[in-house]
Structure 1
Amino acid sequence: MSDSEKTDNRNSGWYIYRRILIHVKPLWYGFVASFIGYAIYGAGQALAAKWLEMVVDAVQRNAFDQRLWLALSVIGIFLMRGIGAFIGNYSMSFVARETVHTLRTRVFESLLRLPTHYYNQNPSGEMLSRLTYNVEQVTGAVTNAIKISIREGLTVVGLLGYMVYLNWKLTLIFLAAGPLIGIVVSIASKRMRRLSRRLQSSVGDITSVASEAIRGFQVVRIFGGAPAEQQRFHRASEQNKRQSMKLVVTQSLNTPAVQLLISLAMASLLFMAMDPVVLGGMTTGGFVAFLTAAGMLTKPVRQLTEVSPIIQKGIAAAESLFGVIDEPSEEDAGHIELQSVRGEVALRHLSYVYPGTQNRALDDINLTLPAGKTVALVGRSGSGKSTLASLLPRFNDGWEGEILLDGTPLQDITLASLRQQIALVNQQVVLFNGSIADNIAYGAMAGASEAQILAAAEAAHVTEFIERMPEGIHTLVGENGVLLSGGQRQRIAIARAILKNAPLLILDEATSALDTESERHIQAALTEVVKGRTTLVIAHRLSTIENADLIVVMEAGRIVEQGSHQDLLAQGGAYARLHAMQFQD
């Protein structure tokens, strides 16, 4: 089989549906219980037709002494149907919720292991839509579709079995409409899958537009962006509405077309049934019961045709979910587990190009970060400072040249053990919806004692503002620290890095959001924190890195100068010009 044929096979509806079923396979007992419940329900439907036959025959024979038994039996039939429906519905709902949980968990786990470039290329709103809307659609394809298929399928089997028992000739006439129904459903299914794919994409667009406007509500309001955001959201919602209505039209035409075919079969059945040869020796009750059973078939057959839209929506949604699950994880082929490091980092002829671009973000970088020393990267925006820093914890892979940690190539070290040796303070501080203590002792540090957390908070001057808060270090920060100022958020991030006590420290504009007084306190704290650690500082404010052991000046992905603050000023080159621009007053 060629690669293209394999790809087509993987993209086929049946292949994707089988992958969905793999996720519900462990819940087989739920399906068994549901099958038993719906079998009881389907048997009740057939017994209802049989009960009608007995009533008509009893009336025709004047057998009124059977009225008590017939009255009690109808109660039993409805009780039987109710119990069967309850068992079936409850069991299938249990399977549905477990499937939603399993799929959401697996997709979320996949998102956590994906490389950085995936996040750069995919809107967050689209990823959230997959976790919410798409998962529900996939679950419907498995549980709702199977529920309807089992319940209505067993009902059809029960009624058809009873019809064959009464008169097999008439039953064959009724079944003649089956192939035509199959053709109609097949044509509709292909269109519904295509429309469902577009519909799910439009839901992702709505989520993306809304999440951007909500996150940036201050920028939207201060710059008068509300009308533009309204138009963006209107276009996304309008597209969603159009795709939804196209899907509704297809579904709405599919159902009456099937009903028309069933009515033609019913009409043919009634016409043929009046022929004495076909009618045979059927009693009046049997004839009425046969027509009743045939009439009762219309509802389950119609509902069975509505299974296809549910499945097609689920298959279209599953394509996007499996796209996330199948996405290659961060490359982690390392075999060395670091226990402790001195912290010397060496870059040898290092070059890097971002995926999908051609210009080199880093070009032939040769640099050594001595163990326990502070190295500062300065330069204009876009000079490659943050790119270089992102390679040390391997947020980006695929570089040319070598990056060595204590003489060991970074790619030979396992990701987990490498990142255990690194603490990071980003320019864009990330806080989670919890308390200040939760955000300082985050992740692997969650077991830290309150004394350790307070010590880190003191070092980062966090205690200066939490003392004024009613709940102190246990004060909630809100989503992404919205209840705190920018400087407070940055100090919490610095406290988090201090608590980790890692031998490598990356400070990416770590003091950019601090006022002058806070910056002075933080600089004093960082002077102590960086002792004995290899520290890489990215800074635009040159006043913060004058005491660095080595200052590296970058332009267009290259190192143009390096040395101490005084040496670089004396050279009168790029650093001296940057310094003069910032301190010209």
Structure 2
Amino acid sequence: DVPFLCAWSLIRIGHHGLFGLFNYVLHLDCKRGNTIMTLFLDIWIVLILGIVLGIQNTTLFLVSLIAVPCYLVIVFAFQRPFNRLNQETMESNAILSSSIIEDLNGIETIKSLTGEKVSYERVDREFVTYLKKSFNYTKADQLQQAIKGLLKLVLNVVVLWIGASLVMANKMSLGQMLTFNALLAYFTNPLESIINLQPKLQMAKVANNRLNEVYLVESEFKEQRSLNDRHLIDGAINVTDVSFKYGFGQDVLKQINLEIPENAKYTIVGMSGSGKSTLAKLLVGFYPVDTGKGKITFNGVPISDVDLTTLRQYIEYVPQDPFIFSGSVIENLTLGSRSNITEADIEAACSVAEIAGDISNLPQIWQTKLSESGSILSGGQKQRLAIARALLSPAKVLIFDESTSSLDTITERKIVDRLLAMTDRTIIFVAHRLTIAAKTEQIVVMDHGAIVEQGNHAELLAKQGYYARLVSE
């Protein structure tokens, strides 16, 4: 019994020594979430102690190994429920978070419509749903832990029962049985720790799948395009037989044919939903033109051959609701600006956009900090800031998609007149206000995704067609 008593002594010493260090490292790694290190140490402990237990008593060790397939049965039995419950919990949590963020962003609208109660009840329902999903997952996890605990107790009882029988049959000594039972605890604990990684790994798998829904979306820059010299695309823009639809819906654009000469001043008009903004976004490459459904060329070069970064340095799109980033006014103005920009360039752009006076009235002028979405600015100030930002970009083609809709008529007229006076840039307005269209060289009239008329203001009025009806209405 001396070797076994020595082994027992080493185990007791190891509780404060080697195994104590292992336990401390395991505890520390678990706290830090270092699952790989925990798994590595657990596997080595199981292998080493398995060999020791097998040498000590083969019969009891084989009985102990019965727990392994039992654990595996429990793991596989809970695998599908854990996947389903994890998925449901994460989805309900995402819905709840989205609703809270949405309500915070739209708090002014909620207040103005006195919709606080409806909004609160919706968030409350989603929160209760999330709690139920989370509770269902916790119940399943606790049930699995209880079954594992019961299996461990049954294993200990069976080992003690068989060990006691072997002691009474004089096939092993009492000291051997006690030593084996003590070593068994250090064998089953790491084994159980390995098994308990199952819910964590499944949770990580579900989370990884949800992240991959975003991260594995192919980048628009994945396709290598040959042309990256913007000077080669200086020239006319041609749209030839272009049709386009979103997803599996109907065509939003139908057989569009349009030529915009270099440095021209165009306006695209039409009723809401006629496809004006979609056509503008196709020119910027926000959406690809399907093969076989027409083509867009810049100075004869197909848009599919132009590097996207080069394309968007050549053509700038300013939306109706521009986004203002958190940071200073000057940081927002110079975002994406051309190289070697000077203070005089910034002041000139702000002067054209009629925003210089508003900036000078801010507390710290150019260094005034703006929150995300620029809450201290009015809608018109945001639009004028975005116009100045576009003027500071290196773009030769500027598309203004209802970019003056929040401005008063006097300010809008000043800005439009200054933009139209630029002789070195192509200006394209997407507008509902026909007063802008009347000032441009050419007007493109769209209806239900098709170009129905094209010409200048006087020509289109003389035709007494669709544009004339828009003016009269």
How high is the TM-score relative to the length of structure 1?
Answer: 0.73
Residue 368 of structure 2 is aligned to residue 478 of structure 1 = no
Call closer, same or farther: CA 1:539–1:276 in 2, change over 3 Å: closer
Call closer, same or farther: CA 1:447–1:89 in 2, change over 3 Å: farther
| Of 507, 529, 547, the match for 2:439 | 547
Equivalent position of 1:495 in the other structure: 388
Residue 317 of structure 2 is aligned to residue 362 of structure 1 = no
More helix by share: 1
> Could you say what secondary structure the match of 1:349 adopts?
strand
Whether the aligned pair in 2 keeps the contact of 1:184 and 1:254 (CA below 8 Å) is: yes
Equivalent position of 2:16 in the other structure: 78
Give 1:387 deviation, angstroms.
0.9
Whether the aligned pair in 2 keeps the contact of 1:383 and 1:556 (CA below 8 Å) is: yes
Compare 236-245 and 381-390 and name the one that shifted more: 236-245
Hey, what's the Cα distance between the residues in 1 that align with 2:471 and 2:121? Answer: 45
Hey, what's the Cα distance between the residues in 2 that align with 1:93 and 1:533? Answer: 60
Call closer, same or farther: CA 1:398–1:85 in 2, change over 3 Å: farther
> Could you say what secondary structure the match of 2:242 adopts?
strand
Whether the aligned pair in 2 keeps the contact of 1:332 and 1:415 (CA below 8 Å) is: no
| Of 386, 391, 409, the match for 1:516 | 409
Whether the aligned pair in 2 keeps the contact of 1:333 and 1:411 (CA below 8 Å) is: no
Corresponding letter in the other structure for 1:565: H
Hey, what's the Cα distance between the residues in 2 that align with 1:453 and 1:50? Answer: 85
Hey, what's the Cα distance between the residues in 1 that align with 2:352 and 2:176? Answer: 90
Give 1:333 deviation, angstroms.
5.3
Give 1:198 deviation, angstroms.
1.9
Call closer, same or farther: CA 1:83–1:445 in 2, change over 3 Å: farther
Give 1:477 deviation, angstroms.
1.4
Whether the aligned pair in 2 keeps the contact of 1:272 and 1:278 (CA below 8 Å) is: no
User: How do 1:526-545 residues align onto structure 2 when only pairs under 5 Å count?
Assistant: 526-528=419-421, 530-545=422-437
Equivalent position of 2:101 in the other structure: 211
Equivalent position of 1:128 in the other structure: none
Corresponding letter in the other structure for 2:104: I
Compare 284-293 and 316-325 and name the one that shifted more: 284-293
Matched residues, percent identical? 30
Give 1:332 deviation, angstroms.
3.6
Compare 166-175 and 348-357 and name the one that shifted more: 166-175
Whether the aligned pair in 1 keeps the contact of 2:266 and 2:428 (CA below 8 Å) is: yes
Equivalent position of 1:237 in the other structure: 127
Whether the aligned pair in 2 keeps the contact of 1:343 and 1:503 (CA below 8 Å) is: no
Equivalent position of 2:211 in the other structure: 321
Call closer, same or farther: CA 1:533–1:278 in 2, change over 3 Å: farther
Give 1:89 deviation, angstroms.
6.6
Give 1:188 deviation, angstroms.
0.9
How high is the TM-score relative to the length of structure 2?
Answer: 0.90
Hey, what's the Cα distance between the residues in 2 that align with 1:176 and 1:363? Answer: 70
Give 1:255 deviation, angstroms.
1.2
Give 1:280 deviation, angstroms.
5.8
Figure out how many residues of one structure are paired with residues of the other and give that number: 466
Equivalent position of 1:54 in the other structure: 9
Call closer, same or farther: CA 1:172–1:536 in 2, change over 3 Å: same
Hey, what's the Cα distance between the residues in 1 that align with 2:237 and 2:406? Answer: 28
Equivalent position of 1:311 in the other structure: 201
1:498-543 per-residue CA deviation (whole Å, 9 max, x = no partner) reads: 0013111111011111233432432243234x42212211011112
Give 1:485 deviation, angstroms.
1.0
RMSD of aligned alpha carbons: 2.8
Call closer, same or farther: CA 1:446–1:159 in 2, change over 3 Å: farther
Corresponding letter in the other structure for 1:349: D
Equivalent position of 1:347 in the other structure: 239
Hey, what's the Cα distance between the residues in 1 that align with 2:307 and 2:192? Answer: 56
Give 1:328 deviation, angstroms.
3.0
Corresponding letter in the other structure for 1:214: L
Gaps of 5+ in 1: 1-48, 56-69, 97-142
Whether the aligned pair in 2 keeps the contact of 1:259 and 1:302 (CA below 8 Å) is: no
Call closer, same or farther: CA 1:562–1:276 in 2, change over 3 Å: closer
Residue 471 of structure 2 is aligned to residue 579 of structure 1 = yes
Call closer, same or farther: CA 1:338–1:90 in 2, change over 3 Å: farther
Corresponding letter in the other structure for 2:369: L
> Could you say what secondary structure the match of 2:428 adopts?
strand
Give 1:472 deviation, angstroms.
1.0
Equivalent position of 2:66 in the other structure: 176
Call closer, same or farther: CA 1:445–1:279 in 2, change over 3 Å: farther
Call closer, same or farther: CA 1:438–1:278 in 2, change over 3 Å: farther
Gaps of 5+ in 2: none
Whether the aligned pair in 1 keeps the contact of 2:289 and 2:295 (CA below 8 Å) is: no
Whether the aligned pair in 1 keeps the contact of 2:265 and 2:420 (CA below 8 Å) is: no
Hey, what's the Cα distance between the residues in 1 that align with 2:255 and 2:199? Answer: 56
Hey, what's the Cα distance between the residues in 2 that align with 1:241 and 1:91? Answer: 29
Hey, what's the Cα distance between the residues in 2 that align with 1:515 and 1:411? Answer: 39
Hey, what's the Cα distance between the residues in 1 that align with 2:127 and 2:336? Answer: 38
Call closer, same or farther: CA 1:233–1:287 in 2, change over 3 Å: same
Whether the aligned pair in 2 keeps the contact of 1:148 and 1:307 (CA below 8 Å) is: no
Hey, what's the Cα distance between the residues in 1 that align with 2:26 and 2:339? Answer: 44
